[in-house]
Every structure is written in C-alpha cells, then in structure tokens.
Amino acid sequence: MSKIFDIITHPNPKLRKKSLPIEENEIKDKKTQEFCEDMIQTMIKKDGVGLAAPQVGINLRFVIVTTNGEPICMINPQITKRSWARAWDEEGCLSVPGIRGQVQRNKKINCIYIDTEGKRKKIIAQNLDARIIQHEIDHLDGVLFIDKTKKT
C-alpha cells in the first residue's frame, strides 16, 4: 500500500536546501523502490505533473516527472545540454499553492539520470516535458519557480 506524503509549502526552509545525491548502493534498495512508488502516488493524488523529494521534506536528488503522459523516477538527474531557444509560460507548484507566474525556460534539454534499477538513462525533452524537468531539478537546488517569475 502506497503512502501519500504531505507536501511542504513555502516558506519551509527545507525547500531552500540543496539536496544530496543518492548513493549508488542505495538505488536498488527496497526503501528507494517504495519511495519512488509513494512519490508517484503522491504526485497523482495531489494532481501534479512533477514532484521533487524536497517537497515532501527529504533533501535527496530524486524527482518524479511526467513525460509523454507517464511518470518516471529520476535519481541524481543532471541537465547536460540546454537549447538556446527559450520560452515564457505559466507555472505553478504544489509547494507554492494558489500562486502562478510566467517563467522563462529552455525549450529543449538533454538530461541524464539513474532509474530505479540503477541504469543510467538519457532523455531529450522539449516544450512541456522540458519545462517540468527543469522545474523539478530547480527544487533539488533550493530554487522555486517564484524566484524566476516575470516581475510586472
């Protein structure tokens, strides 16, 4: 039975901490596997398209992102390439309820990560998928979308 986590909200200081990498020997642990499933179920239950471990109070480099309509667990994700082209679009966040804002993001990115089986993966994402990945990786560095919103 999956556990549904509480989402911590701004201004909780855990949201501003830089997250630590997950050690390779911990990736295949039952605990990590269960955490992945709990994070997916929490994201779905809370009606999100992405969720980062800091949002549930755990400062580890672990995110769930929805790409092509499917949730995937990304462990220790890193963006390795960003397009020059950028676009503004509206974003919101489960940790900043009730607030939306325009954020400029790269339109296309390459990202490497480790999956829950310990395999190194690469994803090339664009448009909404790229935006979701960038937003969630920002969480791992203590950055919230409100730090990047267009000031009017």
Catalytic residue set: 136
Pairing of strands 62-67, 50-52: antiparallel
Greatest alpha-carbon pair distance for the chain in Å reads 47
Residues 126, 128, 131, CA angle at the centre, nearest 5°? 85
| First and final C-alpha spacing in the chain | 46
**3-class secondary-structure state, position 117:** coil
* DSSP bridge pairs for 100: none
CA angle centred on 144, ends 23 and 107, rounded to 5°: 90
